[in-house]
Structure 1
Amino acid sequence: MLSKFKWLAGLLIGLACSVAFAQGAAWPSRPIRIVVGFAPGTPPDIFARMYGEYMARQLGVPVVIDNKPGTAGNLASDAVAKAPPDGYTYLYNLSTAFTINPYIYAKLPFDPQKDLVPVATTMRQGLVLIASPKFPVKSVKELLAAAKARPGTISHASYGAGSPSHLIMEWLKDETGTDMLHAPYRASPLTDVVGGQVDTVMEPMATGYQLISSNRVQALAYSGSSRHPSMPDVPTLSEVVPGLVMTSWHGMWAPAATPVAVQQRFNALMIEASKDPDLVKRIRDLNSEPLGLTQAEMAAALRRDAEIYSRIVKAKNIRVD
């Protein structure tokens, strides 16, 4: 009964805001707040500030970045879910806050499907499977062959149970019938990968390529749909397992009852931003790609990733709390 009341109250607030907007209320007329689910200096914060600067220039109002790190982006999501749906508060988060978190956390203080609405995408990057140069395996095919020959002896690090670096490797193992040892880390495993203490890790391209280009690690495979232009000789995972494609991407969400007209204008602005030459260059300099999707396309991308990740999580019974 309470959930129905909350839904009805949100609907009425949204309708009131929509009527006000339709009657000529100027948007925006005051600062916009973007709540980021990660700490200052992290990739989500860096990209959020890039887009925030663009928004401020185009809209003529300040755009304030509010960092609320914690529980893989859940703290920020909850804050925005409970914010007034007036078009002045947005969530900047990883897509995994909606495609993984609802399945690995037993209970969230908000409903990702009902309390927040996807409004825009900003960037995406593939992940690259890397290993120490000392590791005798030199390709993903050799890795799989070695794993089949010596089950359970080759290790793959991750940024914790349920992280993309974990789940993509579980997907690869399932599809190829291989057994490799998962080594979850609370912090970055890169030092141990470089040193050879752990064999491999599926690393975001933005950080992985710095190690590849300096020859501190070797690249075995890339998770995108096609080979990365910076690594044309490195095969994709889908060349070994057709359909095994996954990227990490960022987006923005708003409280669910935010006026539709504001959502549409916000989305149009973000699509324009993804084509801005200066912003495109800055994003590509970080080995990522700008991503400007419509709201419908963003929702479809969320459904696709959630279906894959949730299937793996349930099959492996992965929980973090």
Structure 2
Amino acid sequence: MQRRHFCLFLSTIGLAPTLALANEDYPARAITMIVPFGPGLSTDAIARYMADEMGKIVGQSIVVENRAGAGGTVGSQVASRATPNGYNLVFVSNGSHAGNVALFKNLPYDPIKDFTPVGAISAAPWALAVRPDLPAKDVPEFLRYASERPGAVTVAHGSASSRACVALLETKGGIDVNDIPYKSLQPAMIDVEAKRLDACFLPLGVAIMAHNAGKLKVLAITAQKRSQLAPDIPAMGEYLPGYELVSWIGIMAPAGTPSDIVQKLHSAMATVLSNPKTVEKLAGFGHDELALDPSQFAELVAADIGRWKQLVHDANIPQQ
């Protein structure tokens, strides 16, 4: 028995340099990053930008793969089961990795136990956008319009966060709307632009572009105060005290990914985020830079799960 233990000890010693060498050579091939949301909106655009820039630093391509569905649940579940070798990443949001804990009875992944944080990137409020011909120029007029048509005004959502925005609008605004779920935000926005629906909640940067193009009217952002990136757009807090929902985005890896690989990825991310070009890029999408390291990101996720549970309870949002 002693001889067997001694042999195992020697084999472990012999294996350690091999593992270290493998990680030093990382990455030796392309990396896949799942984006559990649809293409065409700011989350996807930021993910692709970060993938391109981080890929240049680590010396390998980071390939983005969209796996939309169920508010980020579909892609996140796939990522949670991927091999934890550094070649599988997932682009996450507070919806997929905090809100879904409160919104789904049987979430098929654990945002904390099944993932290793690489780092948080940025944060941004949402925007209430309505069809351009809707007879409401601000939030009070929209609330009046909806209150006169209980259950008839259609408001679309395509993620956990946008769904919560709708629920908060109902509870804080004292209205009853017909909330319409979508697989992702892009088709929801298209249907509001086409006047098939009345309103939707969109990422701030996307909403501003649609507003400037005359395709939508932006009435407010989902924050207590106005954003420095869009000071002309009112905040919900100006009309509905306590209304606030700000989303964050970041990158994670499957649980068990070696710490030195995680650190190498985070270092690449931090380098990208320190570039003024990136800060300007994020601002164009209505995002403020966060740049949290893995431990700070883990703390944010844990805290936000608690906030979401309270939000879902207070807004009386039914679980799926």
TM-score, normalised to structure 2, is 0.78
Structure-2 separation of matches of 1:42 and 1:224:
20
Per the alignment, residue 123 of structure 2 pairs with 124
Checking the alignment, whether the CA contact within 8 Å between 1:104 and 1:319 is kept in structure 2 is yes
Structure-2 separation of matches of 1:248 and 1:122:
11
Checking the alignment, whether the CA contact within 8 Å between 1:44 and 1:93 is kept in structure 2 is no
Structure 1 residues 196-205 or 250-259, which shifts more?
A: 196-205
Per the alignment, residue 169 of structure 1 pairs with 166
Structure-2 separation of matches of 1:18 and 1:224:
51
In the alignment, residue 111 of structure 1 is paired with which amino acid?
D
Aligned residues: 301
Per the alignment, residue 210 of structure 2 pairs with 211
Alignment RMSD (CA, Å): 3.3
Per the alignment, residue 34 of structure 1 pairs with 33
In the alignment, residue 245 of structure 2 is paired with which amino acid?
M
Per the alignment, residue 106 of structure 1 pairs with 105
- 1:159-238 to structure 2, matched below 5 A, reads 159=157, 163-176=160-173, 178-186=174-182, 188-194=187-193, 198-224=197-223, 226-229=225-228, 231-238=230-237
Displacement, 1:221? 1.0
In the alignment, residue 183 of structure 1 is paired with which amino acid?
D
In the alignment, residue 126 of structure 2 is paired with which amino acid?
L
Structure-2 separation of matches of 1:60 and 1:192:
41
Per the alignment, residue 97 of structure 1 pairs with 96
Helix, strand or coil for the counterpart of 1:34?
strand
CA pair 228-266 structure 1, distance change in 2 beyond 3 A: same
Gaps of 5+ in 2: 1-14
In the alignment, residue 24 of structure 2 is paired with which amino acid?
A
Displacement, 1:218? 2.4
Per the alignment, residue 5 of structure 1 pairs with none
Point out the structure with max Rg over C-alpha.
Answer: 2
Per the alignment, residue 140 of structure 1 pairs with 139
Per the alignment, residue 64 of structure 1 pairs with 63
- 1:288-299 to structure 2, matched below 5 A, reads 288-299=287-298
Checking the alignment, whether the CA contact within 8 Å between 1:156 and 1:180 is kept in structure 2 is no
Per the alignment, residue 245 of structure 1 pairs with 244
Gaps of 5+ in 1: 1-15
Per the alignment, residue 274 of structure 1 pairs with 273
Percentage identity across paired residues of the two chains: 23
CA pair 203-300 structure 1, distance change in 2 beyond 3 A: same
CA pair 48-17 structure 1, distance change in 2 beyond 3 A: farther
Helix, strand or coil for the counterpart of 1:100?
helix
